[in-house]
Structure 1
């Protein structure tokens, strides 16, 4: 692990866009950017964990000024190398605590990135940081998965999610602490390589309480960016919390 960039150093950054291929499909990106542009309503947007600019660049093309925060210089370098990437302001730092100038109409944290904060205290701090950057009436948006604990038989704590002759990937859960990790084993040139990234999974109700602690209130919750209803069968949710206008 590159200490300066956390778990998203040069090796991860170099392959990130390809390894997250489904999330780069035009339909996914357009739905995400359209949703956020509507909430921005002509104002500024703050992306927590801007990464390689998957969302920020199409949002900026919709005439929404975007400022990003990210700990990984390697990921931001990939953003800078893309067309119009240099036009987006980025502050290097921990998005749970780093402050930037000005206020924003919308702040957002997508693709499970809230789980990169591995303690409840850090996740609460992230909500407070987002709220502090919002103008009255502004919104904080999170896209995050629903923990797949129903896939765990009694006594099991491992869920595989990718198996091939050269790559194995699996999540390990600790249901007592909500700690989890995604683990990858790859065979390259006949040699096995292993890496592990820790997360903390979080439930919608817990996120709502974090929002209340930050002075925000739930405005809407959907199954995804196309605003399909959120149900007990949903595998992820897009939630919007609002900072009271008064």
Structure 2
């Protein structure tokens, strides 16, 4: 299932970095994981390369794959001289002769795969491209720790754009319980103009997730509630899974 609305959120890569960059605790988590499993790393759904470039700057050889070319174009501008390459491809069908010691997704990108078929295709890609014993890591919002009720527009926060303008961010959410898909609409207000983007994310039950991973040949080694490796609990808002290829 492809939801082309999901790409609306990624049409302004420079301001995307200003709004979502700076999550150093997350970057350090993946850096330490990569150091523990030396080799070539792959990030799927890498966007503008916020995490990939953080790792590359610290000497980790890494490849980033994404389906949105404008995000990759900006990633390449930032990447000069670093041990990183960026490839436009669909994570469900991406193929290469390279094998990786670690593969990861972040930014809750796993939730952008909206059907059983999408999830299976993604996990098959990961399994095929990992070295024996390689590590797969990703995070997602935990449905049991998230308010999935419908909400009207409310203020979500602010950020400062590349021109120094404070942008007010608000939005609403509507949950499709039958398909376990949340639909968010985000409104960014510059004062003199507004943009609207839509995104859909699937909420997978953590127990079902674990069964899916095991069925695809992964052993779940650790699950955390946040980037400082606090153990996951059923009510945690987020679950970070670290898995090994069997």
- Scaled by the length of structure 2, what TM-score is found? 0.83
Q: 1:90 to 1:234 in 2, by over 3 A?
A: same
**Equivalence for 1:10:** 11
- For the Cα contact (< 8 Å) 1:37–1:59, is it kept in 2? no
**Equivalence for 1:129:** 125
Q: 1:111 to 1:150 in 2, by over 3 A?
A: closer
Q: 1:109 to 1:221 in 2, by over 3 A?
A: same
**5+ long unaligned stretches in structure 1:** none
Q: 1:163 to 1:42 in 2, by over 3 A?
A: closer
Aligned residues: 233
Other structure's SS at 2:186 match: strand
Query: Per-residue displacement from partner, 1:202-227 (whole Å, max 9, x unpaired)?
Result: 22222222212321121111112322
Rounded to whole Å, the distance in 1 between the matches of 2:214 and 2:40 is 23
**Equivalence for 2:150:** 157
**Equivalence for 1:225:** 227
**Equivalence for 2:162:** none
RMSD over equivalenced CA pairs, Å: 2.5
- For the Cα contact (< 8 Å) 1:80–1:86, is it kept in 2? no
Rounded to whole Å, the distance in 2 between the matches of 1:86 and 1:76 is 15
Q: What is the deviation of 1:88? A: 1.4
Rounded to whole Å, the distance in 2 between the matches of 1:124 and 1:112 is 17
**5+ long unaligned stretches in structure 2:** 159-166
Q: 1:7 to 1:190 in 2, by over 3 A?
A: closer
**Equivalence for 1:53:** 49
Rounded to whole Å, the distance in 1 between the matches of 2:84 and 2:157 is 37
Q: What is the deviation of 1:148? A: 6.0
Rounded to whole Å, the distance in 2 between the matches of 1:233 and 1:64 is 34
Choose from 185, 200, 203 the match for 2:202: 200
Query: Whose relative contact order is higher, 1 or 2, with alpha carbons under 8 Å and at least 6 apart?
Result: 2
- For the Cα contact (< 8 Å) 1:162–1:170, is it kept in 2? no
Rounded to whole Å, the distance in 2 between the matches of 1:113 and 1:151 is 19
- Scaled by the length of structure 1, what TM-score is found? 0.83
Q: 1:35 to 1:225 in 2, by over 3 A?
A: farther
Q: 1:26 to 1:9 in 2, by over 3 A?
A: closer
